[in-house]
Structure 1
């Protein structure tokens, strides 16, 4: 109880009762006032004059006081060391800074292989490997976008998720594709014996928050080697993105990227040449407007001719509809 509250916690004492402690206290105080020192001779003198069978209260209390350890209260148990002292160390190693980066994030982005290996071995739970920072980037995101393929592979083998999303909905596969990090892409997609049940098709065809898969990201960058790697590991080349319904061939045609369009048409036998986006446009039609029609001209076929006819009919229908709407518009009198 706090002494500041002024409560009297002492038991009442009888003035006529001497417990032995009071007389002993007077004895010691008298000796101290007279200036006598309790040296070895005086101690022997007292020990000779005091009968061991007589308990005056002084000897018993003195002995008891000598046995007391005032630093360690006998009523409270001794403080035991925490059984899981290593938890404190782990909290320091995996503590996030103001940007949400842990030591593993920093080591991954700077390519410190020994540090990453040590932190992986100390990591008590695989979920800690997927700890996101303020941008939603896991250590695997940072390793992949920085081009550190060895660290990327170390994290994948350790169990880091290749399907984790950042704040843009980008997976590590997206960011490696966006940065054209082919070796990191291979490190992400190569089979892992420890994880034989990974469904690569669903992960490869996962869309970001703009509705784009990694195939669309590769087509936007125009990096053929990256697109080849994605197709090799099973990415759907005819996947439509969510905003306009474009395929990779649509994107290549719209950008006027002749080498990429030729690769898709010549080396990807499963590509849909006549695929339509949400507006009904084919890649050939987009290529004509972007100056990439020669990529399709070298690979013309009957189906492509039919596609040309459909595009011409689509254009004429749209133009006639536009003319009808324009002719039927009534001018608004704002006077």
Structure 2
């Protein structure tokens, strides 16, 4: 019951419910779904920045916790197009943009795969060698854009890394 209530609160942005669970010592880092995604994952993937801030800064949950597939909340924010949450996770939560999940995908791979152009733009502007990182099967982000037929993402990636 607490598990479902906590995950639901993180997903819908019910900060009051999260605070209530915390006040009764029912909010713990051990709360996760069947895929190992914790509360920070759910808040990030649903665009609930206030809940994400609370969970990480006040409750001490790890901003870069890993689900069973090794994805972080930053992966989830990128895949669902939530750039504010992604920015906060990187700038305030200390998440590594080069972190790779079990398949080798980074936040950029996922943003491109799901056509989140604003996230792709921010990730490329954030710097690093993101566009050159390969998944376990050797795919770079441009491969995802080309396979999907996403010309806007592909052009953006190629402008950023013409090689």
TM-score scaled by length of structure 2: 0.81
User: Is this contact kept in 2: 1:156–1:162, CA < 8 A?
Assistant: no
Work out whether 1:293 is the aligned partner of 2:154. yes
User: Could you say which residue in structure 1 is the equivalent of 2:97?
Assistant: 237
Which position in structure 2 is the counterpart of 1:140?
6
Unaligned 5+ segments in structure 1 are: 1-100, 106-136, 193-197, 306-335
CA distance in 2, matches of 1:186, 1:164: 17
User: What pairs up with 1:45-194 in 2 under 5 angstroms?
Assistant: 101=1, 105=2, 137=3, 139-156=5-22, 159=25, 160-191=27-58
State the alpha-carbon separation in 2 of the partners of residues 185 and 138 from structure 1.
Answer: 17
Cα deviations across residues 237-284 of structure 1 (Å, max 9, x unaligned)?
Answer: 211111x21101111222333222111001x22452210100111112
Among candidates 270, 277, 286, match of residue 135 of structure 2: 277
Does the CA contact (< 8 Å) of 2:80 and 2:111 recur in 1? no
Answer whether contact 2:79 2:116 (CA < 8 A) is retained: no
**For the residues of structure 2 that align with 1:271 and 1:216, how far apart are their CA atoms?**
16
Q: By how many angstroms is 1:154 displaced?
A: 4.6
Indicate the residue corresponding to 1:330 in structure 2. none
TM-score by length of 1: 0.42
1:150 to 1:280, Cα distance in 2 relative to 1, 3 A: same
> Using a 3 Å threshold, how does the CA distance of structure 1 residues 270 and 157 change in structure 2: closer, same or farther?
farther
Report the CA distance between 1:158 and its aligned residue.
Answer: 5.8
Given that 1:222 and 1:260 are in contact with CA atoms closer than 8 Å, whether structure 2 keeps it comes out as yes
Would the aligned equivalents of 2:6 and 2:39 in 1 still touch at CA under 8 Å? yes
Cα RMSD (Å): 2.4
Aligned residue pairs total 158
